[in-house]
Amino acid sequence: MDFPQDFRCPISMELMKDPVIISTGVTYDRINIEKWFRSYKKRSCPATMQSIESLDMTPNHTLKRLIVTWLDRNHSSNPTPSDKHDQLVTILGNIESSPFKVTSLRKLRSILGTGDDEVKEDFKRLKGVEVIVTIIVQILVESTDFAATFTACEEALGVLNQVITCSEEDEEIIQILMKPDCMKAMGLMLQRGSADARFCSVSIFHKMAKPDHSHTCEWNFIAEDLGIDFFKSLLEMVSDEIYSSKASSCALNLLLQMLNSSKKSRIKAIEAGGICTLIELLPDSNRSRCEKIMELIKCLCECADGRLAFTEHGLGIAAVSKKMLNVSNGATKIGVKILWLISSFNPTERVLEEMLGCGAVKKLVALLHIAGGGQSTTKERVVKILKLHGRMWKRYPNCFPSGLKDYLGLGNDG
Protein backbone atom coordinates (compact mmCIF):
# COMPACT_ATOMS: atom_id res chain seq x y z
CA MET A 1 0.00 0.00 0.00
CA ASP A 2 1.29 3.47 -0.87
CA PHE A 3 1.09 5.75 2.17
CA PRO A 4 0.78 9.54 2.23
CA GLN A 5 4.20 11.20 2.37
CA ASP A 6 3.50 12.86 5.72
CA PHE A 7 2.93 9.42 7.29
CA ARG A 8 6.41 8.24 6.37
CA CYS A 9 9.41 8.52 8.69
CA PRO A 10 12.01 10.84 7.07
CA ILE A 11 14.73 8.35 8.02
CA SER A 12 13.34 5.00 6.84
CA MET A 13 10.63 6.29 4.45
CA GLU A 14 8.36 3.62 6.00
CA LEU A 15 4.96 4.16 7.63
CA MET A 16 5.43 5.47 11.18
CA LYS A 17 4.15 3.26 14.00
CA ASP A 18 5.12 5.47 16.94
CA PRO A 19 5.58 9.06 15.66
CA VAL A 20 7.48 11.43 17.96
CA ILE A 21 8.48 15.08 17.59
CA ILE A 22 12.00 16.26 18.38
CA SER A 23 13.11 19.80 19.29
CA THR A 24 13.36 20.96 15.64
CA GLY A 25 9.65 20.23 15.14
CA VAL A 26 10.24 17.32 12.76
CA THR A 27 8.40 14.03 13.39
CA TYR A 28 10.14 10.65 13.17
CA ASP A 29 9.30 7.06 14.01
CA ARG A 30 10.60 6.52 17.56
CA ILE A 31 12.71 3.44 16.78
CA ASN A 32 14.59 5.23 13.97
CA ILE A 33 15.32 8.52 15.75
CA GLU A 34 16.41 6.67 18.90
CA LYS A 35 18.84 4.67 16.78
CA TRP A 36 20.11 7.94 15.23
CA PHE A 37 20.71 9.49 18.67
CA ARG A 38 21.88 6.51 20.70
CA SER A 39 23.48 3.99 18.37
CA TYR A 40 25.06 6.52 16.02
CA LYS A 41 25.73 9.20 18.67
CA LYS A 42 24.29 11.97 16.50
CA ARG A 43 23.18 15.32 17.96
CA SER A 44 21.52 16.72 14.87
CA CYS A 45 18.16 16.54 13.11
CA PRO A 46 18.45 14.03 10.20
CA ALA A 47 16.05 16.00 7.98
CA THR A 48 17.38 19.54 8.56
CA MET A 49 20.89 18.70 9.87
CA GLN A 50 20.39 21.37 12.57
CA SER A 51 22.43 20.84 15.73
CA ILE A 52 20.23 20.14 18.74
CA GLU A 53 20.81 20.43 22.47
CA SER A 54 17.90 18.38 23.79
CA LEU A 55 17.25 14.78 22.74
CA ASP A 56 13.74 14.85 24.22
CA MET A 57 10.95 13.28 22.15
CA THR A 58 7.25 14.12 22.37
CA PRO A 59 4.62 11.64 21.11
CA ASN A 60 2.73 13.02 18.10
CA HIS A 61 -0.72 11.75 19.07
CA THR A 62 -2.49 13.77 16.38
CA LEU A 63 -0.47 12.25 13.57
CA LYS A 64 -0.84 8.77 15.03
CA ARG A 65 -4.66 9.15 15.07
CA LEU A 66 -4.57 10.32 11.45
CA ILE A 67 -2.49 7.29 10.44
CA VAL A 68 -4.81 4.87 12.24
CA THR A 69 -7.89 6.50 10.69
CA TRP A 70 -6.35 6.41 7.20
CA LEU A 71 -5.41 2.74 7.58
CA ASP A 72 -8.91 1.80 8.76
CA ARG A 73 -10.53 3.66 5.87
CA ASN A 74 -8.26 2.18 3.21
CA HIS A 75 -8.42 -1.36 4.55
CA SER A 76 -12.20 -1.27 4.59
CA SER A 77 -12.59 -0.22 0.96
CA ASN A 78 -11.96 -3.01 -1.54
CA PRO A 79 -12.86 -1.93 -5.07
CA THR A 80 -13.58 -4.69 -7.59
CA PRO A 81 -11.17 -5.24 -10.53
CA SER A 82 -13.71 -3.54 -12.81
CA ASP A 83 -13.86 -0.50 -10.53
CA LYS A 84 -10.07 -0.30 -10.47
CA HIS A 85 -9.88 -0.56 -14.26
CA ASP A 86 -12.30 2.34 -14.58
CA GLN A 87 -10.29 4.30 -12.03
CA LEU A 88 -7.07 3.70 -13.97
CA VAL A 89 -8.64 4.83 -17.24
CA THR A 90 -10.00 8.00 -15.61
CA ILE A 91 -6.77 8.87 -13.81
CA LEU A 92 -4.56 8.29 -16.86
CA GLY A 93 -6.93 10.47 -18.90
CA ASN A 94 -6.71 13.23 -16.30
CA ILE A 95 -2.92 13.02 -16.22
CA GLU A 96 -2.71 13.43 -19.99
CA SER A 97 -5.25 16.24 -20.26
CA SER A 98 -4.82 18.28 -17.09
CA PRO A 99 -1.88 20.55 -16.18
CA PHE A 100 -2.48 19.63 -12.51
CA LYS A 101 -0.98 16.16 -12.42
CA VAL A 102 0.27 15.68 -8.85
CA THR A 103 -3.07 14.79 -7.26
CA SER A 104 -3.84 12.25 -10.00
CA LEU A 105 -0.39 10.71 -9.68
CA ARG A 106 -0.84 10.31 -5.95
CA LYS A 107 -4.19 8.58 -6.51
CA LEU A 108 -2.48 6.32 -9.01
CA ARG A 109 0.25 5.42 -6.50
CA SER A 110 -2.44 4.58 -3.96
CA ILE A 111 -4.25 2.21 -6.35
CA LEU A 112 -1.07 0.49 -7.54
CA GLY A 113 0.25 0.33 -3.98
CA THR A 114 -2.29 -2.32 -3.00
CA GLY A 115 0.09 -4.95 -4.38
CA ASP A 116 -2.51 -6.34 -6.80
CA ASP A 117 -0.54 -7.76 -9.76
CA GLU A 118 -3.67 -7.80 -11.95
CA VAL A 119 -4.09 -4.05 -11.50
CA LYS A 120 -0.42 -3.45 -12.37
CA GLU A 121 -0.72 -5.53 -15.53
CA ASP A 122 -3.88 -3.62 -16.45
CA PHE A 123 -1.97 -0.38 -15.96
CA LYS A 124 0.72 -1.59 -18.38
CA ARG A 125 -1.87 -2.68 -20.96
CA LEU A 126 -3.38 0.81 -20.81
CA LYS A 127 0.04 2.23 -21.82
CA GLY A 128 0.40 3.73 -18.36
CA VAL A 129 4.20 3.43 -18.42
CA GLU A 130 4.41 5.56 -21.55
CA VAL A 131 2.21 8.22 -19.90
CA ILE A 132 4.42 8.25 -16.79
CA VAL A 133 7.63 8.51 -18.82
CA THR A 134 6.34 11.63 -20.61
CA ILE A 135 5.98 13.25 -17.17
CA ILE A 136 9.45 12.19 -16.02
CA VAL A 137 11.21 13.64 -19.06
CA GLN A 138 9.45 16.99 -18.57
CA ILE A 139 12.05 17.75 -15.90
CA LEU A 140 14.51 18.31 -18.76
CA VAL A 141 12.31 20.99 -20.36
CA GLU A 142 12.22 24.66 -19.36
CA SER A 143 9.02 25.35 -17.44
CA THR A 144 7.33 28.42 -15.98
CA ASP A 145 6.24 26.29 -13.01
CA PHE A 146 9.35 24.21 -12.34
CA ALA A 147 8.31 23.33 -8.77
CA ALA A 148 5.10 21.66 -9.97
CA THR A 149 6.98 19.83 -12.74
CA PHE A 150 9.56 18.64 -10.23
CA THR A 151 6.94 17.35 -7.78
CA ALA A 152 5.06 15.61 -10.60
CA CYS A 153 8.28 13.93 -11.70
CA GLU A 154 8.91 12.70 -8.14
CA GLU A 155 5.42 11.19 -7.94
CA ALA A 156 5.78 9.67 -11.41
CA LEU A 157 8.98 7.91 -10.32
CA GLY A 158 7.05 6.46 -7.38
CA VAL A 159 4.44 5.07 -9.79
CA LEU A 160 7.08 3.63 -12.08
CA ASN A 161 8.92 1.95 -9.22
CA GLN A 162 5.69 0.22 -8.18
CA VAL A 163 5.03 -1.41 -11.55
CA ILE A 164 8.44 -2.24 -13.01
CA THR A 165 9.89 -5.68 -12.24
CA CYS A 166 12.96 -7.65 -13.27
CA SER A 167 10.94 -10.19 -15.26
CA GLU A 168 11.34 -10.89 -18.96
CA GLU A 169 7.77 -9.66 -19.48
CA ASP A 170 8.98 -6.13 -18.75
CA GLU A 171 11.65 -6.16 -21.47
CA GLU A 172 9.69 -3.72 -23.64
CA ILE A 173 9.27 -1.37 -20.68
CA ILE A 174 13.02 -1.58 -19.99
CA GLN A 175 13.68 -0.51 -23.58
CA ILE A 176 11.41 2.53 -23.11
CA LEU A 177 13.23 3.51 -19.92
CA MET A 178 16.61 3.07 -21.61
CA LYS A 179 15.94 5.99 -23.95
CA PRO A 180 18.51 8.75 -23.32
CA ASP A 181 16.04 11.43 -22.15
CA CYS A 182 14.44 9.09 -19.63
CA MET A 183 17.81 7.89 -18.34
CA LYS A 184 19.01 11.48 -18.00
CA ALA A 185 15.85 12.61 -16.19
CA MET A 186 16.03 9.75 -13.69
CA GLY A 187 19.73 10.44 -13.16
CA LEU A 188 18.98 14.08 -12.35
CA MET A 189 16.25 13.10 -9.89
CA LEU A 190 18.64 10.69 -8.19
CA GLN A 191 20.93 13.66 -7.58
CA ARG A 192 18.39 16.36 -6.72
CA GLY A 193 15.14 14.72 -5.68
CA SER A 194 13.64 14.06 -2.26
CA ALA A 195 14.69 10.98 -0.29
CA ASP A 196 11.70 9.07 -1.70
CA ALA A 197 12.42 10.14 -5.29
CA ARG A 198 16.09 9.24 -4.95
CA PHE A 199 15.19 5.81 -3.63
CA CYS A 200 12.70 5.25 -6.47
CA SER A 201 15.29 6.35 -9.05
CA VAL A 202 18.03 4.07 -7.78
CA SER A 203 15.55 1.20 -7.38
CA ILE A 204 14.42 1.58 -11.01
CA PHE A 205 18.02 1.76 -12.24
CA HIS A 206 18.80 -1.37 -10.23
CA LYS A 207 15.90 -3.28 -11.82
CA MET A 208 17.05 -2.12 -15.25
CA ALA A 209 20.59 -3.32 -14.56
CA LYS A 210 19.67 -6.99 -13.96
CA PRO A 211 22.27 -9.39 -15.42
CA ASP A 212 19.88 -10.68 -18.12
CA HIS A 213 19.86 -7.26 -19.77
CA SER A 214 22.89 -6.22 -21.81
CA HIS A 215 22.90 -2.45 -21.73
CA THR A 216 26.59 -1.58 -21.58
CA CYS A 217 26.22 1.28 -24.05
CA GLU A 218 23.46 2.88 -21.97
CA TRP A 219 25.56 2.79 -18.81
CA ASN A 220 28.36 4.38 -20.82
CA PHE A 221 25.85 7.08 -21.76
CA ILE A 222 25.04 7.67 -18.08
CA ALA A 223 28.75 7.85 -17.24
CA GLU A 224 29.43 10.31 -20.05
CA ASP A 225 26.32 12.48 -19.85
CA LEU A 226 25.74 12.75 -16.10
CA GLY A 227 29.36 12.20 -15.16
CA ILE A 228 30.92 12.48 -11.74
CA ASP A 229 27.90 13.97 -9.95
CA PHE A 230 25.81 10.87 -10.70
CA PHE A 231 28.42 8.61 -9.12
CA LYS A 232 28.90 10.95 -6.17
CA SER A 233 25.16 10.65 -5.49
CA LEU A 234 25.31 6.85 -5.69
CA LEU A 235 28.31 6.71 -3.36
CA GLU A 236 26.55 9.04 -0.95
CA MET A 237 23.56 6.70 -0.87
CA VAL A 238 25.81 3.69 -0.31
CA SER A 239 27.43 5.50 2.63
CA ASP A 240 24.19 6.72 4.19
CA GLU A 241 22.85 3.37 5.40
CA ILE A 242 21.28 4.93 8.51
CA TYR A 243 19.01 7.12 6.35
CA SER A 244 17.65 4.26 4.28
CA SER A 245 19.10 0.76 4.27
CA LYS A 246 16.97 -0.14 1.23
CA ALA A 247 18.32 2.78 -0.81
CA SER A 248 21.87 2.02 0.32
CA SER A 249 21.56 -1.62 -0.71
CA CYS A 250 20.05 -0.70 -4.10
CA ALA A 251 22.82 1.83 -4.76
CA LEU A 252 25.49 -0.73 -3.86
CA ASN A 253 24.01 -3.37 -6.18
CA LEU A 254 23.58 -0.82 -8.98
CA LEU A 255 27.24 0.21 -8.71
CA LEU A 256 28.26 -3.46 -8.97
CA GLN A 257 26.25 -3.90 -12.17
CA MET A 258 27.50 -0.67 -13.72
CA LEU A 259 31.18 -1.11 -12.87
CA ASN A 260 31.19 -4.71 -14.05
CA SER A 261 29.73 -3.77 -17.44
CA SER A 262 31.21 -0.36 -18.23
CA LYS A 263 34.83 0.79 -18.11
CA LYS A 264 33.74 4.42 -18.41
CA SER A 265 31.64 3.95 -15.29
CA ARG A 266 34.73 2.76 -13.42
CA ILE A 267 36.69 5.82 -14.46
CA LYS A 268 33.91 8.20 -13.39
CA ALA A 269 33.47 6.35 -10.08
CA ILE A 270 37.20 6.75 -9.39
CA GLU A 271 37.01 10.46 -10.22
CA ALA A 272 34.04 10.75 -7.84
CA GLY A 273 36.19 9.49 -4.95
CA GLY A 274 34.89 5.94 -5.02
CA ILE A 275 38.07 4.30 -3.72
CA CYS A 276 38.22 6.53 -0.64
CA THR A 277 34.51 6.10 0.14
CA LEU A 278 34.58 2.31 -0.22
CA ILE A 279 37.73 1.84 1.85
CA GLU A 280 36.23 3.86 4.69
CA LEU A 281 33.00 1.82 4.57
CA LEU A 282 34.81 -1.53 4.62
CA PRO A 283 35.80 -1.88 8.32
CA ASP A 284 32.22 -1.70 9.67
CA SER A 285 30.51 -3.69 6.91
CA ASN A 286 28.74 -7.00 7.51
CA ARG A 287 29.53 -10.13 5.47
CA SER A 288 27.28 -9.52 2.46
CA ARG A 289 28.05 -5.81 2.28
CA CYS A 290 31.76 -6.47 2.79
CA GLU A 291 31.98 -8.83 -0.18
CA LYS A 292 30.18 -6.32 -2.43
CA ILE A 293 32.36 -3.40 -1.31
CA MET A 294 35.52 -5.45 -1.89
CA GLU A 295 34.23 -6.46 -5.33
CA LEU A 296 33.77 -2.77 -6.16
CA ILE A 297 37.27 -1.95 -4.93
CA LYS A 298 38.62 -4.78 -7.09
CA CYS A 299 36.78 -3.42 -10.15
CA LEU A 300 38.24 0.04 -9.60
CA CYS A 301 41.74 -1.36 -8.98
CA GLU A 302 41.63 -2.92 -12.44
CA CYS A 303 42.15 0.66 -13.69
CA ALA A 304 45.51 2.40 -13.26
CA ASP A 305 43.91 5.45 -11.61
CA GLY A 306 42.03 3.19 -9.22
CA ARG A 307 45.21 1.41 -8.15
CA LEU A 308 46.92 4.75 -7.62
CA ALA A 309 44.04 6.03 -5.48
CA PHE A 310 44.09 2.79 -3.48
CA THR A 311 47.81 2.91 -2.75
CA GLU A 312 47.65 6.59 -1.83
CA HIS A 313 44.94 5.91 0.76
CA GLY A 314 46.60 5.20 4.07
CA LEU A 315 44.14 2.48 5.13
CA GLY A 316 43.49 0.65 1.85
CA ILE A 317 45.88 -2.29 2.18
CA ALA A 318 45.21 -2.67 5.91
CA ALA A 319 41.42 -2.62 5.49
CA VAL A 320 41.44 -5.26 2.75
CA SER A 321 43.98 -7.47 4.54
CA LYS A 322 41.97 -7.44 7.76
CA LYS A 323 38.94 -8.89 5.97
CA MET A 324 40.93 -11.74 4.46
CA LEU A 325 40.42 -15.03 6.38
CA ASN A 326 38.02 -13.21 8.72
CA VAL A 327 34.81 -12.82 6.70
CA SER A 328 34.27 -15.49 4.04
CA ASN A 329 36.03 -17.43 1.30
CA GLY A 330 34.58 -14.98 -1.20
CA ALA A 331 36.01 -11.96 0.61
CA THR A 332 39.39 -13.68 0.89
CA LYS A 333 39.52 -14.44 -2.85
CA ILE A 334 38.64 -10.86 -3.73
CA GLY A 335 41.20 -9.57 -1.23
CA VAL A 336 43.94 -11.67 -2.83
CA LYS A 337 42.96 -10.33 -6.27
CA ILE A 338 43.21 -6.75 -5.01
CA LEU A 339 46.65 -7.35 -3.44
CA TRP A 340 47.79 -9.11 -6.60
CA LEU A 341 46.75 -6.11 -8.73
CA ILE A 342 48.46 -3.65 -6.39
CA SER A 343 51.69 -5.62 -5.94
CA SER A 344 51.94 -6.43 -9.65
CA PHE A 345 51.32 -2.97 -11.10
CA ASN A 346 52.21 -0.58 -8.23
CA PRO A 347 55.00 -2.37 -6.33
CA THR A 348 56.61 0.69 -4.77
CA GLU A 349 58.80 0.25 -1.71
CA ARG A 350 56.19 1.97 0.45
CA VAL A 351 53.43 -0.37 -0.79
CA LEU A 352 55.52 -3.49 -0.13
CA GLU A 353 56.49 -2.26 3.35
CA GLU A 354 52.85 -1.47 4.08
CA MET A 355 51.83 -4.99 3.04
CA LEU A 356 54.44 -6.35 5.43
CA GLY A 357 53.56 -4.01 8.29
CA CYS A 358 49.78 -4.45 8.24
CA GLY A 359 49.92 -8.24 8.15
CA ALA A 360 49.02 -8.77 4.49
CA VAL A 361 52.14 -10.88 3.89
CA LYS A 362 51.36 -13.06 6.91
CA LYS A 363 47.84 -13.61 5.56
CA LEU A 364 49.25 -14.60 2.14
CA VAL A 365 51.66 -17.09 3.74
CA ALA A 366 48.80 -18.53 5.82
CA LEU A 367 46.70 -18.91 2.68
CA LEU A 368 49.52 -20.85 1.04
CA HIS A 369 49.38 -23.43 3.85
CA ILE A 370 45.56 -23.52 3.95
CA ALA A 371 45.35 -24.14 0.21
CA GLY A 372 47.48 -27.30 0.63
CA GLY A 373 48.62 -29.23 -2.41
CA GLY A 374 45.68 -28.39 -4.64
CA GLN A 375 45.66 -25.71 -7.29
CA SER A 376 43.33 -22.74 -7.52
CA THR A 377 43.40 -19.30 -9.06
CA THR A 378 43.65 -17.77 -5.58
CA LYS A 379 46.62 -19.97 -4.63
CA GLU A 380 48.32 -19.21 -7.94
CA ARG A 381 47.99 -15.49 -7.27
CA VAL A 382 49.36 -15.90 -3.76
CA VAL A 383 52.39 -17.76 -5.12
CA LYS A 384 52.94 -15.08 -7.79
CA ILE A 385 52.87 -12.31 -5.20
CA LEU A 386 55.29 -14.09 -2.88
CA LYS A 387 57.66 -15.00 -5.72
CA LEU A 388 57.55 -11.45 -7.06
CA HIS A 389 58.47 -9.76 -3.78
CA GLY A 390 59.76 -12.58 -1.59
CA ARG A 391 63.39 -11.47 -1.94
CA MET A 392 62.53 -8.29 -0.09
CA TRP A 393 60.15 -9.81 2.45
CA LYS A 394 62.36 -12.79 3.35
CA ARG A 395 64.63 -10.39 5.24
CA TYR A 396 61.90 -10.38 7.89
CA PRO A 397 61.68 -14.01 9.13
CA ASN A 398 58.91 -13.19 11.60
CA CYS A 399 56.62 -12.37 8.69
CA PHE A 400 58.17 -14.51 5.96
CA PRO A 401 59.25 -18.01 7.13
CA SER A 402 62.69 -18.95 5.88
CA GLY A 403 61.41 -22.35 4.73
CA LEU A 404 59.33 -20.68 2.03
CA LYS A 405 62.34 -19.52 0.01
CA ASP A 406 63.12 -23.02 -1.27
CA TYR A 407 59.45 -23.70 -2.07
CA LEU A 408 59.27 -20.45 -4.02
CA GLY A 409 62.70 -20.91 -5.59
CA LEU A 410 64.12 -17.70 -4.15
CA GLY A 411 67.57 -19.07 -3.36
CA ASN A 412 69.80 -17.94 -0.50
CA ASP A 413 70.89 -14.51 -1.74
CA GLY A 414 70.02 -11.56 0.52
Annotated domain spans of the chain: 5-72, 78-163, 190-272, 285-414
Domain covering 285-414 assigned CATH 1.10.150 in the classification: no
With contact defined as beta carbons under 8 Å apart, do 287 and 246 qualify? no
With contact defined as beta carbons under 8 Å apart, do 394 and 380 qualify? no
Q: Which residues of the chain have pLDDT under 50?
A: 213-214, 216, 414
Predicted pLDDT at 155: 94
Predicted pLDDT at 410: 62
Homologous superfamily of domain range 5-72: Zinc/RING finger domain, C3HC4 (zinc finger) (3.30.40.10)
Predicted pLDDT at 201: 93
What is the pTM assigned to this prediction?
Answer: 0.74
With contact defined as beta carbons under 8 Å apart, do 384 and 374 qualify? no
**Tell me: the pLDDT tens digits for 149-168?**
899 999 999 999 999 886 76
Q: What is the mean pLDDT of the chain?
A: 85
